[in-house]
A and B are shown apart, each in its own frame.
Chain A
Amino acid sequence: MKPLLFLGLLFWGTTITAQDIPFIKKAQLEHWLNADTDTVYVLNFWASWCGPCVAELPAFEKLNQKYASQNVKVVLISTDFKRNVDSKLKPFIKRKNLQSQVMFMDEPNPNVWVNLISPEWSGAIPATLIIAKQKGKRLFFEEQMTFQELEEKLRSVL
Chain B
Amino acid sequence: MKKTFAFSPVKIFMTAALLLTAAVTMSFSLQNVGGGYKIGDTAQDFNLKNVNGKNVSLAGIKNAKGYIVIFTCNHCPYAKAYEQRIIELHQKYAPLGFSVVAINSNDKDVQPADSFDNMKKLAKQKKYPFPYLYDESQEVAKTFGATRTPHVYVLDKDRVVRYIGAIDDNSEDPGLAKEKYVGSAVEALLGGQEVAVKETKAIGCGIKWKKS
Q: Using CB atoms and an 8 Å cutoff, list the residues of chain A in contact with chain B.
A: 45, 47, 49-52, 79, 81-83, 108-111, 114-115, 121-126, 142-143
Collect the chain B residues with CB atoms within 8 Å of residue A114's CB.
201-203
Closest to A105 in B: B203
Q: How far is the CB of B29 from chain A (nearest CB, A)?
A: 19
Tell me how far the C-beta of A99 lies from the nearest C-beta in chain B, rounded to whole angstroms: 24
Chain B 189-212 residues near chain A, CB threshold 8 A: 200-207
Asked, given contacts A81-B77, A108-B176, whether A124 binds B169 with beta carbons under 8 Å apart, the answer is: no
Q: Which A residues lie within 8 Å of B169 (CB)?
A: 108-109, 111
B201 & A115 in contact (Cβ 8 Å cutoff) = yes
B residues adjacent to A (C-beta < 8 A): 77, 81, 111, 147-148, 151, 165-166, 169-173, 176, 179, 200-207
| A-B residue pairs in contact (CB < 8 Å), sample of 24 | A49-B77, A79-B203, A81-B172, A108-B172, A109-B170, A109-B179, A110-B166, A110-B201, A110-B202, A110-B203, A111-B169, A111-B201, A114-B202, A115-B201, A122-B147, A122-B148, A123-B166, A124-B147, A124-B148, A124-B203, A124-B207, A125-B204, A126-B206, A142-B206
Query: B151's contact among A45, A52, A115, A122, by CB below 8 Å, is which?
Result: A122
- Whether A111 lies near B165 (C-beta < 8 A) is yes
15 additional contacts, CB 8 Å, given A122-B201, A125-B204, A143-B206?
A45-B203, A51-B111, A52-B206, A108-B172, A108-B173, A108-B176, A109-B179, A111-B166, A111-B200, A115-B201, A122-B151, A123-B201, A125-B148, A126-B206, A142-B206
Total of A-B residue pairs, C-beta within 8 Å: 65
A123→B148 contact, CB < 8 A: yes
Closest to B178 in A: A109
Q: How far is the CB of B202 from chain A (nearest CB, A)?
A: 5
Q: Which of A45, A79, A110, A143 has the most CB of B within 10 A?
A: A110
Chief secondary structure at chain B's binding surface? loop
Contacts of B170 in A (CB 8 A): 108-109
- Contact status B172-A83, CB under 8 Å: yes
Residues of B with C-beta under 8 A to A81:
77, 81, 171-172
Give chain A residues whose Cβ lies under 8 Å from the Cβ of B202.
Answer: 110-111, 114, 123
Query: Is the CB–CB distance between B205 and A125 below 8 Å?
Result: yes
B106 to chain A, nearest CB (A): 11
Chain A residues with CB under 8 A of B171: 81, 108
- The residue in chain B whose Cβ has the minimal distance to the Cβ of A109 is B169
Inter-chain contacts of B173 with A (CB < 8 A) = 108
Residues of A within 8 A of B200 (CB): 111
Shortest Cβ distance from residue A80 to the other chain B in the assembled complex, whole angstroms: 8
3 closest Cβ pairs, A-B complex = A124-B206, A124-B148, A114-B201
Residues of B within 8 A of A49 (CB): 77
Which residues of B sit under 8 angstroms from A83, Cβ to Cβ? 172
- A79 CB contacts on chain B under 8 angstroms: 203
A52: nearest chain-B partner, CB-CB: B206
A51 to B176: give the CA distance in the assembly, Å: 28
